[in-house]
Structure formats: structure tokens, C-alpha cells
């Protein structure tokens, strides 16, 4: 879907980058604060500057940053250039390719690499690297070249890429039909009570913080989501778990684990960057702070990926090692739990 264009008073075109509709329950809120709740990686200064430059519109009129958003307002951010995801530039970025043939490849994505361009991340993404590496990648339903699925920027691990239209269709159907295999390893706060279990609860955008996903257990909003978890190792105030996805919702593991009271370790967006379990001892606080420095991201790794090959029809299964930062953090907790009994 191409970005919508709006004419500027001087005849030049503006391209729509963001559009949000204020809910019926929206309390009066400055438009710069309103946009901060919706746009990932945006800063208040950038939003205020955009407003000063005439790029923030409400109900098709330019507004200043102190405009108070009301229920039903349509808020848009418009710029002279089209969104960068529509200007994909090939970049010679090294890829850790685990497997590749004529129709697909499996990539081991490092933590910190954004999968596809978006606001604040216009270059250096996996897609920039893929379109340099491969010509004429097919696009998925969201017009993302090659992507069968995605993982978050700060999640490491395996990602499947389709190189042909037929492979894209075949592989996407496996993910839709829940026949693909995806196992993640996560470090979560707290001592998980049960050895294994299943978390069920619809996942959708948080009603107040649009950068978070929220669990709606009554099923009144969001999409159905199922996560199967199993304890791998208990490390005192945190637990190492395996999570197998039956569905693939945005932030599924992060939202589901928080929902059952076990937020991912150092998951800043969901509150895991705070000391959620443990003692009040200063030494413990220092220990946790050091662990945060070792692993400056959410403790989540896409370890296993399984699917049926679209041409050979054979089951393929790949595994990747837990990366160094996460492995060192786990070892640090392992040592702490043994010596703090």
C-alpha cells in the first residue's frame, strides 16, 4: 500500500508517515505527548520540531505542538519525502546465513539489528542486507521483501526468508496453519512455579501505551495467542525457560510472560529493566546492575526453527547457539544462585 499524499499550500506534495485516530475515551492531551505514545523511537524534541515545521496535522489542518488532542481527532505526521521503507536501499551488510538454496534462506540475526526499515531505523536493517544479497525478493502481505515472519530488534536468532513467490506462499501458509516450529529461550524474572504450562490470551495493542502489546484474557480485543513454556533451569530469582509458539503475535512471548508474572529479564519496554525480584541488599542490586550491563537487551533468543521445505517437502530443522551476551548473563546468575544459598 503506497503512502497517501497530501498537497501542501505551495503545491508541493507531502507524504503521510503516520496516522492515528484518537479514541472516544481520549482525555485532552498535547499533540506532542500524544504522538510520543504512538511512534516508536521518536523523541519529544523531534516531534516538537516537526510541529514547528508544519508537519503535524489534526483533522487536515496544521497544528502547533501544544494543540490538545480530543476524542475522534485524526492526527497525521506528513513530510516532503516518502517513508523510507518505500525507498529500500541495498546495503552490503554481512549476514550470518545458516542455510541457503534456490528458494529460501535461514539467517541468524544478531541482537540490535532491525528486521525492516521503519521510523528511526531507515538503514542497516536485515531487509537492506537481503536486497543487496538477493535480487527480486518477493514481498509479503505487508510489502516486506522476503520476510515470512519477523523477530524484534533486540531479540537474536533464526529467521526464515523466502526467495520466490511460490516459496513465500507455501511458507507463509505453514506459519498461518501453525505447522511451523519455533522455539525461543528466555530468561525471566522470578521462580516459575510450574515445570511447564500453556499461556492462552488474546494479544493486541495496549489501550494506553501503543508501543506495548497487552493480553486480553476475555478475548474482547486482540488476536488469539498461545505460548507453551517449559522450565530449563532455575537460577534463584530468575528462571531460564523454553517457549514454543503456536501463534506468532507481535511481542507474544514478552507480553505472555509478563501476563503470568514473569517479565523478561532486562525487557525495558515491559518493565524488566527494573529489579523485580530478589533482596534489598546493596550487593544484590549491584550484581543485577552488572548483569544488565552484560546483557543490555531483553533476554530472548530464537533458538529453533522448523518447517517443511516448499520444493522437496522434507522437514527442515535448524538450531542456533545462545549468543555470547545472553550466555554470559546466564552463567553469572548460575554462579550467583549456587553461592547465595
Overall average pLDDT of the 127-140 stretch: 91
Lowest-pLDDT range of 112-121, 122-131, 293-302: 112-121
Catalytic residue among 32, 73, 152, 154: 152
Whether 245 and 151 share a structural domain: no
166: domain range?
85-176
Q: Count of domains in the chain?
A: 3
User: Looking at 82, 104, 130, which one is the last position of a domain?
Assistant: 82
Whether 31 and 52 share a structural domain: yes
HEC secondary structure over the chain:
CCCCEEECCCCCEEEEEEEEECCCCCCCEEHHHHHHCCCCCCCHHHHHHHHHCCCEEECCEECCCCCEECCCCEEEEEECCCCHHHCCCCCCCCCCEEEECCCEEEEEECCCCCCCCECCECCCCHHHHHHHHCCCCCECCCCCECECCCCCCCCEEEEEEECCHHHHHHHHHHHHCCCCEEEEEEEEECCCCCCEEEEECEEEECCCCCCCEEEECCCCCCECCEEEEEEEEECCCEEEEEEEECCCCCCHHHHHHHHCCCCECCCHHHCCCCCCCCCCCHHHHHHHHHHHHHCCCCCEEEEEEEEECCCCCCEEEEECCCCHHHHHHHHHHHHHHHHCC
Overall average pLDDT of the 78-87 stretch: 66
Whether 275 and 129 share a structural domain: no
| Residue 101 bears catalytic tag | no
Query: Is a pLDDT exceeding 60 seen at residue 11?
Result: no
Query: Is a pLDDT exceeding 90 seen at residue 18?
Result: no
Whether 189 and 330 share a structural domain: yes
Mean pLDDT of the chain: 89
Query: Is a pLDDT exceeding 50 seen at residue 42?
Result: yes
Whether 227 and 322 share a structural domain: yes
Read off the pLDDT of residues 178-233 as tens digits, 9 standing for 90 and up: 999 999 999 999 999 999 999 999 999 888 776 789 999 998 889 999 999 999 99
Whether 213 and 145 share a structural domain: no
User: Looking at 157, 176, 195, which one is the last position of a domain?
Assistant: 176
Query: Is a pLDDT exceeding 60 seen at residue 9?
Result: no
278 — pLDDT class (breaks 50, 70, 90): very high
Whether 30 and 98 share a structural domain: no
Whether 65 and 96 share a structural domain: no
Whether 164 and 187 share a structural domain: no
Amino acid at each position: 500500500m503506497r503512502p497517501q499524499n497530501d498537497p501542501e499550500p505551495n503545491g508541493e506534495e507531502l507524504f503521510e508517515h503516520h496516522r492515528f485516530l484518537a479514541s472516544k475515551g481520549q482525555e485532552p492531551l498535547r499533540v506532542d505527548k500524544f504522538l510520543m505514545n504512538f511512534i516508536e523511537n521518536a523523541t519529544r524534541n523531534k516531534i516538537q520540531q516537526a510541529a514547528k515545521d508544519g508537519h503535524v496535522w489534526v483533522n487536515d489542518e496544521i497544528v502547533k505542538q501544544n494543540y490538545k488532542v480530543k476524542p475522534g481527532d485524526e492526527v497525521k505526521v506528513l513530510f516532503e519525502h516518502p517513508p523510507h521503507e518505500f525507498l529500500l536501499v541495498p546495503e552490503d551488510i554481512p549476514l550470518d546465513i545458516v542455510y541457503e538454496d534456490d528458494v529460501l534462506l535461514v539467517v541468524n540475526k544478531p541482537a540490535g539489528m532491525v528486521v525492516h526499515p521503519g521510523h528511526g531505523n531507515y538503514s542497516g536493517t536485515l531487509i537492506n542486507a537481503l536486497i543487496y544479497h538477493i535480487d527480486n525478493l518477493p514481498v509479503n502481505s505487508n510489502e516486506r521483501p522476503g520476510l515470512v515472519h519477523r523477530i524484534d530488534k533486540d531479540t537474536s536468532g533464526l529467521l526464515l526468508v523466502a526467495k520466490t513467490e511460490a516459496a513465500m506462499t507455501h511458507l507463509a501458509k505453514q506459519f498461518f496453519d501453525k505447522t511451523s516450529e519455533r522455539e525461543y529461550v528466555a530468561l525471566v524474572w522470578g521462580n516459575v512455579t510450574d515445570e511447564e504450562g500453556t499461556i492462552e490470551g488474546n494479544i493486541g495493542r495496549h489501550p494506553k501505551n501503543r508501543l506495548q502489546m497487552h493480553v486480553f484474557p476475555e478475548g474482547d480485543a486482540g488476536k488469539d495467542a498461545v505460548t507453551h513454556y517449559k522450565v530449563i533451569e532455575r537460577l534463584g530469582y530468575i528462571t531460564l525457560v523454553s517457549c514454543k509458539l503456536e501463534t506468532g503475535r507481535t511481542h507474544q512471548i514478552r507480553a505472555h510472560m509478563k501476563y503470568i508474572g514473569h517479565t523478561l529479564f532486562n525487557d525495558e519496554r515491559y518493565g524488566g529493566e527494573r529489579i523485580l525480584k530478589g533482596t534489598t541488599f546493596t550487593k544484590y542490586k549491584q550484581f543485577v546492575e552488572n548483569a544488565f550491563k552484560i546483557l543490555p537487551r531483553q533476554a530472548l533468543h530464537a533458538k529453533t526453527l522448523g518447517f517443511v521445505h516448499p520444493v522437496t517437502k522434507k522437514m527442515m530443522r535448524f538450531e542456533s547457539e545462545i549468543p555470547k551476551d545472553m550466555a554470559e548473563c546466564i552463567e553469572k546468575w548460575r554462579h550467583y544462585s549456587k553461592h547465595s544459598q
